[in-house]
Amino acid sequence: VAAQFQSRSLDGLRVVITAGPTREALDPVRYISNHSSGKMGFSIAAAAAEAGAITTVIAGPVHLSTPDSVHRIDVTSASEMCAATLSLIDDCDIFIATAAVADYRPVSSAEQKIKKTTDTLNITLIKNVDIVSTVAARDDSPFTVGFAAETQDVERYARDKMQRKKLDMIIANDVANSDIGFNSNDNAVTIFSKCGDSEAIAQTSKQQLGRLLIAKIATKVH
Ligand code: CTP
Ligand code: CA
């Protein structure tokens, strides 16, 4: 009964979720990226749709099938992910940033394949736009949730990130433990809310965690 009750907790609300890694091109055949699988974001998208939300996932390059009733926009780079996000944000009630967005991109992408003519090669990188901060800074911002993957001082860094980025909630995971988090099927997290409260969720499947996080977000949005 409780599960049924919870299952429509986001009825009619519009949820946008970023997921997966981004790829930043060096030349036509090479890129900088990371090991994010997108599983956490896709699990949250599935749970949001189950909860009755009109759900869109903006996905970097991942090998995952689209959950039932979820709209999907595929992107490659951080700039594309940002543009796709901003195109949806006016009609969005809840924004959840799970993507492992590349912090930097090469200043320019070579038009032709880079040849190995020198012993050393310098690549200059430039910072990408912070998508979740951009969303949270808007006048009429949606309820905005970020993630923080940290290897030390998890609580301090996560709370600091929530404040700096003006988020309503941040979900922190300790990626020093390599069995969980990045690219695995399980995760263990702590949820910190703007109002100061926190809740730890012990290791569980990302599918189950998606449902728990959506249930928690629903209690804060209503
Ligand atoms: N994020 C984003 N756009 C970026 C970088 C990060 O939207 N260009 C979002 C992530 O999706 C996540 C949150 O910001 O929800 C925190 O990402 P994280 O990498 O932990 O924080 P950074 O601000 O990039 O700081 P650092 O990597 O130095 O810890
Ligand atoms: Ca980062």
CATH of the domain at 32: 3.40.50.10300
Of 139, 196, 146, the closest CA to residue 169 belongs to: 146
**How remote is the CA of residue 130 from the centroid of ligand 2, in Å?**
9
Mutate to test the pocket of ligand 1, among 130, 155, 166, 189 (most ligand atoms within 8 A of CB): 130
On whether residue 153 sits in a domain, the answer given is: yes
Q: Looking at ligand 1, which atom is closest to the CA of residue 164? A: 23
Are residues 165 and 141 in contact, defined by beta-carbon separation less than 8 angstroms?
no
For ligand 1, atom 9, the nearest C-alpha belongs to 132
Residue 157 lies in a domain: yes
Asked if residue 222 is part of any domain, the answer here is no
Asked whether residue 25 is domain-assigned, the answer is yes
- Give the containing element (helix H, strand E) for 4: helix 2-6
> Binding site annotation covers 127?
no
In tens, the pLDDT along 48-75 reads: 999 999 999 999 999 999 999 999 999 9
Predicted local distance difference test score (pLDDT) of residue 2:
53
Taking CB atoms and a 6 Å cutoff, what residues make up the pocket around ligand 1? 18, 78, 97, 99, 101, 103, 128, 130-132, 146-149, 161
Grade residue 6 by pLDDT with cuts at 50, 70 and 90.
low
Residue 29 belongs to domain spanning: 2-108+120-217
CA distance 150 to 176: 7
Over range 4-28, report the average pLDDT: 90
Whether 43 is covered by a domain: the verdict is yes
**Number of separate domains in the chain:** 1
| Structure token pair of residue 154 | 């998890």
> Of the candidates 195, 99, 86, 186, which has an alpha carbon nearest to the alpha carbon of residue 147?
99
**19, 146, 142: which is closest to 72 by C-alpha?**
19
- Characterize the bridge pairing of strands 14-19 and 54-59: parallel
| 34 is a catalytic site residue | yes
Q: Is the pLDDT of residue 201 over 50?
A: yes
Tell me how far apart the alpha carbons of residues 209 and 213 are, in angstroms, rounded to a whole number: 6
How remote is the CA of residue 1 from the centroid of ligand 2, in Å? 40
- DSSP string over 20-70: SB--EEEETTEEE-----SHHHHHHHHHHHHTT-EEEEEE-S---PPPTTE
Q: Is residue 152 part of a domain?
A: yes
What average pLDDT does this structure show over 115-132?
A: 96
**What is the SS3 assignment for 136-181?**
HCCCCCCEEEEEEEECCCHHHHHHHHHHHCCCCEEEEEECCCCCCC
Q: Is 113 annotated as a binding residue?
A: yes
Give the tens place of pLDDT for each residue, 149-199.
898 999 999 999 999 999 999 999 888 876 676 667 888 899 999 999 999
The reply to whether 115 falls in a domain is no
Would residue 114 count as lying in a domain?
Answer: no
